[in-house]
Each structure stands twice: as structure tokens, then as C-alpha cells.
Amino acid sequence: MTGYTAKKVILKDASGNYLIPYTENELPSQTNNSGKYLTTNGVTASWNRIETITTEQLNGKVDKSSLAIVNPMITSYRNGTSGYNIWANGFCEQWGYSTVITGNGQDTISLIKTMEDINYNIIMTADYKDTGYKTYRVHSKTTTSFIAYGYGTGSSVSGIYWIVKGYLAEGEY
């Protein structure tokens, strides 16, 4: 873009032809144009408001079967290192922290919310403070708890973080 200063704006038309350069002060101001978009008819640039439409205006005009189904989160709870998120379809992720398993042994982890069945996923991560290693596995599980078993070397583990993901029992959401 030779021949123009840095304060010039070059516009092209739909065919790619260059239009007369405008200075930045000739473009519409953004001041007091919140919620509007910039448009042009090819000659004049202006701000237009986005039109809104009500649900009543959509009735009969939109094929509702083609719309995506939204699954919003309906409730969330957090208390320190534990909590849960529940979605409208009953899916839940809940989490917590157990300090019991520091050596080789097991701990019964009580779930905050009751699960629909035992077909939920469990993820566990050791909370290491120094060296050593620990391996954790699920020994058994019910709809209200699971038993985490830890084994390995070192005493540097101060506990485990856990996450459970699955569907809740009826009445839990």
C-alpha cells in the first residue's frame, strides 16, 4: 500500500476493486454503538442493531427437530476439596480428597451423591509431598461408595484426589 499514510483505510468492493481511501475519522464512531454491528451498502458505512426474535415468533417457522439439545448444568456444590456438578440429564461429576491412605492400605470413600448403578468412572491421583511412588486401584464399589487400595514405596503420599463421573440415582437431581 504505497502512496497512503498509516491513517488511511483502503476498502474493496465485492469485485475486489479498490475504492476511494477513507481516513479513519470518516468511519462511523463506535461510541454509543454497543450491541450493534458495522455494515455498508458499498458506499456508506453505518451501525445496525441486531434484531431479536421471541419464542412465540419462532413457533411454526423453525423445525424444532433440527435444533441441538442443550444439557445445562442445573446445580453445583463445592466445599473445600470436595464437590459436584449435576447436569439436567442426571449426569454428575463429583470429587473429593482422602487422607487415610498414606501407607499400604485401603480407604472407603463415601460419595456425596448416590449413583444410579456401579457403572461409573473413577479417577484417582496421589498427593505426593516428597519422593516414592504409590499405585491406587479400586477394590470394590457400590452406588454410595468405593474402596480405594493404595500400595507402593515411601511415605511421602499425604492422600489421594478422586473424581467420579456417571449418572445419578433417581431423586438425586
Higher pLDDT among residues 33 and 130, named by residue? 33
3 DSSP assignment: T
Domains of the chain: 1-62 (no CATH), 73-167 (2.60.40.3940)
CA–CA dist 47, 70 (Å, integer): 32
Q: Going edge to edge, which strands form the sheet with 133-141? A: 105-110, 145-153, 133-141
3-state secondary structure of 38: strand
Quickly count: other Cβ atoms within 10 Å of residue 102's Cβ.
18
Residue pLDDT, tens place only, 86-97 = 998 999 999 999
Residue 152 has pLDDT above 70, yes or no: yes
Residue pLDDT, tens place only, 102-119 = 567 788 999 999 999 999
CA 125 to chain centre: 21
Higher pLDDT among residues 26 and 158, named by residue? 158
Grid cell in block for residue 80: 473445600
Q: pTM here?
A: 0.57
Q: How many CA atoms lie within 13 A of 165 on its CB side?
A: 3
Per-residue pLDDT, 131: 65
How much is the average pLDDT of 123-136? 76
Give the CA distances from residue 171 to residues 72, 90, 110, in Å, rounded to whole numbers and listed in that order. Answer: 18, 10, 18
Residue 39 has pLDDT above 70, yes or no: yes
Residue 135 has pLDDT above 60, yes or no: yes
How much is the average pLDDT of 34-50? 77
Per-residue pLDDT, 163: 97
How much is the average pLDDT of 61-83? 80
Average per-residue pLDDT in the chain? 78
